[in-house]
């Protein structure tokens, strides 16, 4: 991969990120690279802009550099994934699972990147389709997870889960998390799901606070088609959230269909990258 | 305790309960007891009524008999607890933690009750007070639990918990469950809380899907004053639910104060009663 | 696959299995099949024998039929796996994860089998090698799991885990379970591991009662090489168990190396087979 | 409580503790106190000795000061508890749940202690009796826990638990932990038990990796009599450990009876002491 044009993305409307973005831009331009600024990035930073949404991004930029935390990376990933643009993250504060470059060590990492000392990890993305009356009424892509959970109710909701058309279980819980390996260290972990190595071709289905204590996380192939029906009563309400953002309120007669997305996310990993070291640091092991 | 007047309570507005209520009433009247029907009980059943809310119930009835499931018992408990009226439950379907008398074995149990073969268990009730700007703006009593949890949001909420004025922790999670021993086999169990013997003088505080994996359930004395602040951001919303019913949406500047209520709930246990047998059956042990 | 010669295996030295074995043999011979009896099978049953250990079994039999529980299947699997002989289980009592044919429904299932209404599932086997001073001093194969755990000690043991040569963590716990997907519903589940669909190409590594609460099960590719060092002090002792049988006491200077075995186990699944139905029944869902 | 004579205890036979012990002794003697050295304490330190075991310790010393970690405290507690001698711990390295005085801040803490700025916490101790053929064949006291667990076997062991003579459950697991509130942050926590505030009058019973996933920790009054039978087969072996030390191998026909001990342990807490601060630090909250 030849890197000559870089898209620079920052936290949406967050002016505080501007100084770091400026510094990254200067470092990149000093190294002879062309820098384009993502259109949803803070207006505080000047420079030539690209529209995040409409452009065939892969023709305009060779890679995307995202400045922020894991949340900013998730947002950028959803934009970039359909274009096949590889991305790398610069973390502003604490070490992130997705952001590879510490702010305090920008130059060394940029030099490593431009010298080709990086690898590309292809991460599974999750495709979520809401089907009602036989029609797809919503489609979305997420990097971490899709979560169907109760909304403003103190009660459990009831789910039926099917995998490849076969009935798995009817369960009552606060919700269900379908997570990619990338998302296995996010919400799914809090709900009792396992850590999955990020490049595996699997998905996990984990119930949130299930009424039946033997309802445990299940790991399946990411070839599978997962279908979930969330039953409604007048008193319960369910939401669908992708990567932590509610995208839809459910009325109770939808089927949520989850599959691996057609595209993968290309994550740039600057060498040496060690996923286990990130796990140890983030989870406080040893 | 002399039993001559019995209040009969059934599921609110649920006509299907009426035949069982009628049968219970007849059995009680056949045994020379005066039966009064709770005012929120299904209108399908005739007879003299009492207003659940306003009357000094303890002067009108010696005990309450509640026909339904654990949910109906929880509702009745909140009405009855302030009056010190002892209660017993008749379960309609599956065995309940609170309903002692199986529908199929009504007569034997009523005879045991009237022959004095019962004991009374005093159960701790939880008093929840919402304080805002130094003023109590809501008060409620619950038998199982008080739950502060996220509403319509895909994100975690942040809590600060204090016990007897001392800071315990600042945590991010889907919510916090404060449960009585009675409630320890309900929602709290699904969230990883322990089973507490029902007559203990303790409370448990359990986080729901906590971000920090070492945030674990804590058992404290029911003498303690628990205070919880749920911080808001524009994107997150929290609710307060008592016994599974949302009683209040939180705006983020309230303190939720939880203590043992002044009164206890008197549960009538027809002998022989074995809490461990109920646990084995309900939880599928062995 | 042409089925004309069947090896019949039963619980080692357990005479009570003999009547069922006899019945199975008769049913098979009635259908024109040649039946050979495994040499470790109960002596109560007559007929031509084959030596389980030395023969090139795949030249003598087309498939193995194992009568017993999941434990008997595990033992038979270790014998059969190196020969590539497919196997099917007849359960004597309760439904098993491995035994497909209920004793009460033998004839229907045998007819389905002989009519070709079956599929073959290839299950990953685990190869465990104990390395000391650079030499392999023990090798073994298991279908469910390899477990390194403390022996006669009240104290934790300390482990270092590496995956593909990279350091993962140094942990203190009662032990570590490395499980195949097949083993994910056995011991690993009790220790908090996830359910893995049986045909996945992954392994799980789960700590048993870890001192650090954030030490959680990890799912990795079954291409990986796992290495575990269990450190000894004079007061602690560790054992290595394969499929629940202790195969070796560890002295503390060994490295336990775990990989996918070269061969897979061929499990015959008589149609219709539904793994989720087995899960629902065995785990008491719904 | 008048403090004039102090017993000084250190890690058994560990010479490395001697310099700290010497320093503590000098600081105490500088403040006009008489110091006696526990007989099992490192021989490297000189001075007048007392026999830990035989003396009526409470007539010789007013309090015990223990230098070491939580393990040293546990050992000292078992010696001191029967004599009613209050104790305080000086931690050598990491903060402990039991050791109150950090080594780096000895003088301030000793001055606070001698000025009376301390409180005394009475901690429940566990009395364990092994009964065989109707006779008590072993008795022991522990501060943290009593654990019945499998020994050198890869298999589960089967338990029957009774509370106050009533059958609770028959379970299969790696073992059972009965913990005091003090022990709730030790082994019990790793096995999924809750944190119990240290001065509560309760005990917890937690299964270790139970085969039945709904077998969960149970909290009961410390007035209760717990009885556990561990069944043996020729292949399984069980041990009884108190505070992490195996005290007895079980043959399978014993009943293990657990009750609150007659005496409590008096823990000296130098003000200000904040148990929640210790929890936050030890468990890495926030």
In tens, the pLDDT along A178-197 reads 999 999 999 999 999 999 99
Q: Do B217 and D194 count as a contact with CB atoms less than 8 A apart? A: yes
Instruction: Chain B: list its partners (3+ Cβ pairs within 8 Å).
Output: A, C, D
Q: Give B120 to chain D, closest Cα distance, Å.
A: 18
Domain with CATH 3.40.50.10330 in chain D: 5-116
Q: Could you give the ipTM of this predicted complex?
A: 0.94
Residues D97/D278, Cβ–Cβ less than 8 Å: yes
Facing C154 at nearest CB: one of D147, D191, D211: D147
**Testing the interface with A: which of B153, B185, B243 to mutate, by most A Cβ within 10 A?**
B153
Facing A154 at nearest CB: one of B190, B211, B245: B245
Tokens of C237: 């002792």
pLDDT at position D106 over 80 = yes
Q: Do C214 and A284 count as a contact with CB atoms less than 8 A apart? A: yes
Q: How confident is the model at residue B233 (pLDDT cuts 50, 70, 90)?
A: low
Facing C152 at nearest CB: one of D151, D209, D211: D151
Q: Give the C-alpha separation, A196 to A219, whole Å.
A: 9
- D171: phi then psi, degrees, rounded to nearest 5: -130, 155
Facing A246 at nearest CB: one of B152, B187, B245: B152
Measured between beta carbons, which residues in chain B are less than 8 angstroms from residue A245? Answer: 154
Across C188-192, D93-97, D183-187, least confident range: D93-97
Average pLDDT of span B248-259: 93
Q: Does the beta carbon of B53 lie under 8 angstroms from any beta carbon of chain A?
A: no
Tokens of D258: 């657990």
Q: Give the C-alpha separation, B188 to C41, whole Å.
A: 49
Q: Do C194 and A197 count as a contact with CB atoms less than 8 A apart? A: no
Residues C81/C141, Cβ–Cβ less than 8 Å: yes
pLDDT in the model for residue C39: 78
Q: How confident is the model at residue D191 (pLDDT cuts 50, 70, 90)?
A: very high
Facing B202 at nearest CB: one of D163, D202, D218: D202
pLDDT in the model for residue A12: 67
Neighbours of D4 (CB within 10 A): 11
Q: Does the beta carbon of B26 lie under 8 angstroms from any beta carbon of chain A?
A: no
Mean pLDDT of chain C: 91
Sign of CA dihedral D59, D60, D65, D68: negative
Measured between beta carbons, which residues in chain A are less than 8 angstroms from residue C283? Answer: 214-216
Measured between beta carbons, which residues in chain C are less than 8 angstroms from residue D189? Answer: 213
Measured between beta carbons, which residues in chain A are less than 8 angstroms from residue C166? Answer: 274, 276
Measured between beta carbons, which residues in chain B are less than 8 angstroms from residue D214? Answer: 283-285
pLDDT in the model for residue A234: 66
Q: Give D277 to chain B, closest Cα distance, Å.
A: 7
Q: Where is pLDDT greater, at D80 or C44?
A: D80
Indicate which residue of D52, D62, D70, D229 is catalytic: D70
In tens, the pLDDT along B174-206 reads 999 999 999 999 999 999 999 999 999 999 999
Q: Give the C-alpha separation, A154 to A177, whole Å.
A: 19
Q: Does the beta carbon of D216 lie under 8 angstroms from any beta carbon of chain A?
A: yes
Instruction: Chain D: list its partners (3+ Cβ pairs within 8 Å).
Output: A, B, C
Facing B195 at nearest CB: one of D212, D218, D279: D218
Q: Do B217 and D197 count as a contact with CB atoms less than 8 A apart? A: no
Neighbours of B261 (CB within 10 A): 20
User: Least CA distance to C213: which residue of chain B?
Assistant: B214
Measured between beta carbons, which residues in chain A are less than 8 angstroms from residue B154? Answer: 147, 149, 239, 241, 243-246
* Inter-chain contacts counted by CB atoms under 8 A, chains B and D: 106
Going from the C-alpha of D185 to that of each of A175, C172, D204, D218, the distances in angstroms are: 30, 15, 12, 15
Q: Do C218 and A189 count as a contact with CB atoms less than 8 A apart? A: no
Domain with CATH 2.60.200.30 in chain D: 125-262
C-alpha count within 13 angstroms, C-beta hemisphere, residue C215: 28
Residues C186/C145, Cβ–Cβ less than 8 Å: yes
Q: Give A193 to chain D, closest Cα distance, Å.
A: 15
Indicate which residue of A52, A70, A222, A229 is catalytic: A70
In tens, the pLDDT along A20-29 reads 899 999 999 9
Measured between beta carbons, which residues in chain D are less than 8 angstroms from residue A216? Answer: 213
Q: Give the C-alpha separation, D41 to D18, whole Å.
A: 9
Q: Does the beta carbon of A211 lie under 8 angstroms from any beta carbon of chain D?
A: no
Q: Does the beta carbon of D90 lie under 8 angstroms from any beta carbon of chain C?
A: no
Q: Give A238 to chain C, closest Cα distance, Å.
A: 21
- D94: phi then psi, degrees, rounded to nearest 5: -70, 155
Strands (DSSP E) contained in chain A are 5-10, 34-38, 49-50, 63-68, 87-91, 101-102, 118-132, 135-142, 145-150, 157-163, 166-173, 175-179, 195-196, 202-208, 218-221, 226-231, 238-242, 245-250, 254-270
Question: 3-state SS of chain D: helix, strand, coil percent to 5?
Answer: 20, 45, 35
Q: How confident is the model at residue C2 (pLDDT cuts 50, 70, 90)?
A: confident
pLDDT at position C53 over 80 = no
Q: Give the C-alpha separation, A21 to A64, whole Å.
A: 13
Report the candidate in B16, B33, B30, B32 with the shortest Cα–Cα distance to residue B8: B33
In tens, the pLDDT along B25-50 reads 999 999 999 999 987 777 677 778 88
C-alpha count within 13 angstroms, C-beta hemisphere, residue D32: 5
Q: Give C221 to chain D, closest Cα distance, Å.
A: 25
CATH code for D125-262?
2.60.200.30
Q: How confident is the model at residue A55 (pLDDT cuts 50, 70, 90)?
A: confident
Measured between beta carbons, which residues in chain B are less than 8 angstroms from residue C213? Answer: 213-214, 216
User: Least CA distance to B249: which residue of chain A?
Assistant: A152
pLDDT at position C12 over 70 = no
pLDDT in the model for residue D104: 86
Q: Give A96 to chain B, closest Cα distance, Å.
A: 14
SS3 call for C281: helix
- B181: phi then psi, degrees, rounded to nearest 5: -55, -40
Q: Does the beta carbon of A213 lie under 8 angstroms from any beta carbon of chain D?
A: yes
C-alpha count within 13 angstroms, C-beta hemisphere, residue B273: 24
User: E strand or H helix at B110, and its extent?
Assistant: helix B106-114
Give the rounded percent of residues in chain A with a pLDDT score beyond 90.
68
Exposed e or buried b per residue across B101-116, where buried means at least 16 C-beta atoms within 10 angstroms of its C-beta: bbeeebeebbebbeee
User: Least CA distance to C147: which residue of chain D?
Assistant: D154
pLDDT in the model for residue A163: 98
Q: Where is pLDDT greater, at C224 or D68?
A: C224
Across A7-16, A84-93, B165-174, least confident range: A7-16
Burial of C121 by CB count in 10 Å (0-12 exposed, 13-18 middle, 19+ buried)? middle
pLDDT in the model for residue A233: 67
Q: Give the C-alpha separation, A198 to A196, whole Å.
A: 6
Q: Give the C-alpha separation, D279 to D218, whole Å.
A: 22
pLDDT in the model for residue C54: 66
Q: Does the beta carbon of C115 lie under 8 angstroms from any beta carbon of chain B?
A: no
Q: Does the beta carbon of A163 lie under 8 angstroms from any beta carbon of chain C?
A: yes
Q: Give the C-alpha separation, A142 to A124, whole Å.
A: 9
Q: Give A90 to chain C, closest Cα distance, Å.
A: 24
In tens, the pLDDT along C204-254 reads 999 999 999 999 999 999 999 999 998 866 666 899 999 999 999 998 889
Q: Does the beta carbon of D102 lie under 8 angstroms from any beta carbon of chain C?
A: no
pLDDT in the model for residue D213: 96
Residues A238/A256, Cβ–Cβ less than 8 Å: no
In tens, the pLDDT along B145-178 reads 999 999 877 788 999 999 999 999 999 999 999 9
Neighbours of C273 (CB within 10 A): 14
Cβ neighbours for A169, distance < 8 A, ≥ 6 positions apart: A160, A161, A215, C276, C279, C280, C285, C286
> What secondary structure, in 3-state letters, does D148-195 show?
EEECCCCCCEEEEEEECCEEEEEEEECEEEEECCHHHHCHHHHCCCCE
Q: What architecture does CATH give domain C5-116?
A: 3-Layer(aba) Sandwich (3.40)
Q: Does the beta carbon of C177 lie under 8 angstroms from any beta carbon of chain A?
A: no
Average pLDDT of span B228-249: 86
Rounded (10°) CA dihedral D44, D48, D49, D55:
-170
Q: Where is pLDDT greater, at A224 or C272?
A: A224
- A57: phi then psi, degrees, rounded to nearest 5: -55, -35
In tens, the pLDDT along B115-136 reads 999 999 999 999 999 999 999 9
Q: Do C285 and A195 count as a contact with CB atoms less than 8 A apart? A: no
Q: Give the C-alpha separation, B141 to C147, whole Å.
A: 49
Neighbours of A54 (CB within 10 A): 8
Q: Give the C-alpha separation, B190 to B188, whole Å.
A: 5
* Inter-chain contacts counted by CB atoms under 8 A, chains A and D: 7
pLDDT in the model for residue C235: 65
Q: Which residues pair with D205 in a beta bridge?
A: D178, D218
Across D70-74, D230-234, D268-272, least confident range: D230-234
Q: Give A280 to chain C, closest Cα distance, Å.
A: 7
Neighbours of C172 (CB within 10 A): 18
Indicate which residue of B52, B70, B222, B229 is catalytic: B70
* Inter-chain contacts counted by CB atoms under 8 A, chains B and C: 7
Q: Does the beta carbon of C286 lie under 8 angstroms from any beta carbon of chain D?
A: no
**Testing the interface with D: which of A211, A212, A213 to mutate, by most D Cβ within 10 A?**
A213
Q: Do A154 and B190 count as a contact with CB atoms less than 8 A apart? A: no
Q: Give the C-alpha separation, C231 to C254, whole Å.
A: 9
Is the entire prediction scored with pTM above 0.80? yes
Q: Give B114 to chain A, closest Cα distance, Å.
A: 36
pLDDT in the model for residue D267: 94
Q: Give the C-alpha separation, B45 to B35, whole Å.
A: 12
Annotated catalytic, B70? yes
């Amino acid at each position: 991969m030849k890197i000559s044009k870089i898209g620079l993305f920052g936290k949406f409307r967050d002016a505080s990120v501007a100084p770091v973005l400026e510094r990254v831009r200067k470092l990149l331009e000093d190294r002879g690279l062309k820098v384009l600024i993502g259109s949803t990035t803070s207006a505080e930073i000047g420079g030539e802009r690209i529209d995040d949404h409409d452009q065939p991004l892969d023709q305009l930029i060779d890679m995307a550099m995202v400045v922020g935390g894991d949340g900013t990376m998730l947002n950028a990933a959803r934009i970039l994934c359909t274009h096949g643009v590889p991305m790398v993250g610069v973390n502003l504060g604490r070490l992130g699972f997705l952001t590879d470059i510490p702010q305090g060590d920008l130059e060394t990492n940029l030099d490593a990147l431009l010298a080709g000392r990086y690898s590309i990890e292809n991460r599974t993305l999750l495709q979520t389709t809401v089907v009602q009356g036989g029609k797809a009424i919503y489609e979305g892509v997420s990097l971490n997870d899709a979560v169907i959970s109760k909304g403003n109710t103190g009660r459990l909701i009831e789910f039926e889960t099917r995998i490849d058309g076969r009935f798995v279980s009817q369960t009552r819980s606060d919700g269900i998390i379908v997570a990619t390996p990338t998302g296995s260290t996010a919400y799914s972990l809090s709900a009792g799901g396992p850590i999955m190595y990020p490049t595996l071709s699997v998905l996990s289905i984990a119930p949130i606070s299930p009424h039946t204590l033997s309802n445990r996380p299940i790991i399946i192939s990411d070839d599978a088609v997962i279908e979930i029906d969330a039953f409604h009563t007048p008193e319960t309400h369910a939401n669908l959230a992708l990567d932590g953002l509610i995208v839809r309120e459910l009325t109770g007669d939808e089927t949520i269909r989850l599959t691996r997305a057609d595209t993968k996310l290309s994550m740039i990993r600057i060498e040496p990258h060690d996923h286990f070291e990130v796990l140890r640091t983030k989870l406080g092991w040893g």
